[in-house]
Structure 1
Amino acid sequence: MLSRFRAGWAPGSSSGAPRTPLRVLQVCGALSALVLIFLLFMGDIAPIFLVPTLLVFVGCVGFFAARDPLELEVTEHDLYQQARWYEGRYLLPEDFDHDAGLLLDRVQQAIDFILRSRVNALGMLDDVRNSVMLPAQEWEIARLLTKLSALRTEHHDFMYGGSSPEVAAAMAPLERALAASEAAVVARVEALERYAGHVSEADRALRAHDQIEQLRARLPRYEELLAETGADTFAVPEISRLSEDADHLEQALRDSVRSAQEAFRHLDGPPAP
């Protein structure tokens, strides 16, 4: 629908006299039907008049409902108003060529994974900055990709019919500019993916840490069993290493979160002079 709006199509206006909402008519119809049935059972209305009365009522409801705009038309009109209001602040799939669309998919997958990660939900990362800056990164990369797509399309169309050596030589710097711009955008996408990779590692360390902690909570029962069976001399050292493993995983988790935070700071770019 947004594509149709951009092409110049607009929904019909809903001018005219005020119209009765269709849902109000439906509610009134249901209540009237209940009243008629109640009167029929109470004997205040003859059964012979029930069917004609209902038919007249249904006809009236149909007449007013036909005059009401369809819900789809209302939705189209509202969407059209929103599209005009937010013009320039949204992008459509046709704004991206094939390569740009693939890069945008990578960006969205990385951001979705980061925002849905456990370490982010638990506040172990900078979840406030994530919720603000990652969507801003997505929009900025998408905006650059649309510009890149448009220039690539123009360049391809210009070169499609062939060109002389002089024109090809003049176009060479522009091609290099396109390639350099694409490489810069790809570098930003890869930075996001590296951040997502660090978050994934932190999530893995968090899961392993939680599992080890659950096992460590069961240690007293195992130690009691070993003591009662007289096998504690041989097995206790082995089980005690579980606590050491938990400590190592705790450190690994802290290192993973720290690496993810460093990767996030890299997304900010170089500090301003």
Structure 2
Amino acid sequence: MGIVVDPGVPPEDARLIRESGKILARMRRGWIPDPPRPADPARSKGTVATVIAVAVVLVALGIMSRGIGLLLLAFIGAPVLLVTFLRNDLADEDEDEETLLEREIYEQLRWYEGRYVVADDLDESSRRLLARAQQAIATVNGSAVNAEGLLDDVRNAVMLPAQEWEIARLLAKLSALRTRHRETVTGAAAPEVAAVAEPLARALDSSEEAVVARVEALERYAANVTEAERAFRAHQQIEELRGRLPQYEELVAETGADRLAVPEIARLAQDADRLEQALRRSLSSAHEAFRHLEPGERPDGPRQ
């Protein structure tokens, strides 16, 4: 179950939400955890009775023989009382540990309701769009140019999760409204209903197109990053080869093949320079594509 969490949620809470897919699925089916269980009066009475009984025996023995009473208190009474209390505490802890954990997760999920989106709750079209956005983001985050800091990795770390959340949030609203719209107008033949439903359906389509524009902007950014990645890897390989040029030149000179090979080797340096320029252009294009994802910049697409 894929879950997208608002980047504003604290990291530990966000991690808990992402790892709680099974409990979320149960909640979707109407599950509610059991309420806190009150203390067991019978167990408490049993503990008190045990304490009183031990105390009475020790007092009686103390009256008969003060020394024996003190020894029994130290070696028998104290351990009995300690075991009695620990047994009750551990029984309560073992019995309620899983329930307490589930209740804590349930309360967290309820507290952050509206600040996470479950992919399974989206309709099919929205799930496809979200998957496209996530794939584009994964391409950028997994690239070597991002890892090497050739992109603005700090802004990527902030902007990309924000874009993913905004897309997921809008798709969740779109899916819910589109589903209710279809349920309402299904089978309706009255002209009055059609007259009202048709412009509303167009509004839903227009909203989806606006989200598609956001996703496509992410994909353009990812495509530019992919091109920069190709140029970066080729640049690394060329630089590695250029670093071994003296060895090639030495071998060529020793074998007497310099008249044929030297021009080819010389072109290697030129290729490296051209590739470095291509890398710079690719990175510039990636930065330009990223600019369209920043706040205040809107990708080309339908306006609402």
The 2-side partners of 1:198 and 1:271 are apart by: 18
Aligned match of 1:12: 34
The 1-side partners of 2:134 and 2:127 are apart by: 11
Describe the shift of the 1:234–1:82 C-alpha distance in structure 2 as closer, same or farther (beyond 3 A): same
Does 1:170 find its partner at 2:192? Answer: no
Describe the shift of the 1:70–1:203 C-alpha distance in structure 2 as closer, same or farther (beyond 3 A): farther
Does 1:244 find its partner at 2:261? Answer: no
Does 1:225 find its partner at 2:225? Answer: no
The 2-side partners of 1:236 and 1:67 are apart by: 80
The 2-side partners of 1:157 and 1:151 are apart by: 10
* 1:73-222 equivalent positions in 2, closer than 5 A: 73-222=99-248
- What TM-score, normalized by structure 1, do the two folds share? 0.77
The 1-side partners of 2:282 and 2:101 are apart by: 47
The 1-side partners of 2:115 and 2:27 are apart by: 15
Q: CA deviation at 1:81?
A: 2.2
Aligned match of 1:53: none
The 2-side partners of 1:159 and 1:97 are apart by: 17
The 2-side partners of 1:103 and 1:72 are apart by: 37
- What TM-score, normalized by structure 2, do the two folds share? 0.70
Do 1:192 and 1:267's aligned partners in 2 also have CA atoms closer than 8 Å?
Answer: yes
After TM superposition, the structure 1 stretch with the greater mean CA deviation from structure 2, 158-167 or 133-142, is 158-167
Q: CA deviation at 1:84?
A: 2.4
The 1-side partners of 2:97 and 2:239 are apart by: 55
The 2-side partners of 1:151 and 1:271 are apart by: 27
RMSD over aligned Cα, in angstroms? 2.5
5+ residue gaps, structure 2:
1-22, 40-82, 299-304
Do 2:291 and 2:297's aligned partners in 1 also have CA atoms closer than 8 Å?
Answer: no
Give the letter aligned to residue 206 of structure 1: F
Secondary structure of the structure 2 residue equivalent to 1:91: strand
Q: CA deviation at 1:217?
A: 1.0
After TM superposition, the structure 1 stretch with the greater mean CA deviation from structure 2, 70-79 or 111-120, is 70-79
5+ residue gaps, structure 1:
18-56
After TM superposition, the structure 1 stretch with the greater mean CA deviation from structure 2, 226-235 or 199-208, is 226-235
Do 2:167 and 2:211's aligned partners in 1 also have CA atoms closer than 8 Å?
Answer: yes
The structure having more radius of gyration, on CA atoms, is 2
Give deviations 1:132-187, integer Å, cap 9, x for gaps.
01101111111110111111111111111222123212222111111111111001
The 1-side partners of 2:91 and 2:295 are apart by: 58
Do 1:201 and 1:256's aligned partners in 2 also have CA atoms closer than 8 Å?
Answer: yes
Give the letter aligned to residue 242 of structure 1: L
Identity %: 60
Give deviations 1:66-102, integer Å, cap 9, x for gaps.
8613654343122112112212211223431111011
The 1-side partners of 2:162 and 2:296 are apart by: 17
Do 2:225 and 2:283's aligned partners in 1 also have CA atoms closer than 8 Å?
Answer: yes
Q: CA deviation at 1:16?
A: 5.0
Do 2:159 and 2:293's aligned partners in 1 also have CA atoms closer than 8 Å?
Answer: no
Match of residue 291, structure 2, among 252, 258, 265: 265
Give deviations 1:193-215, integer Å, cap 9, x for gaps.
11111111111111100001111
Q: CA deviation at 1:6?
A: 5.2
Give the letter aligned to residue 231 of structure 2: A
Describe the shift of the 1:96–1:72 C-alpha distance in structure 2 as closer, same or farther (beyond 3 A): same
Do 1:125 and 1:257's aligned partners in 2 also have CA atoms closer than 8 Å?
Answer: yes
The 1-side partners of 2:159 and 2:245 are apart by: 44
Give the letter aligned to residue 2 of structure 1: L
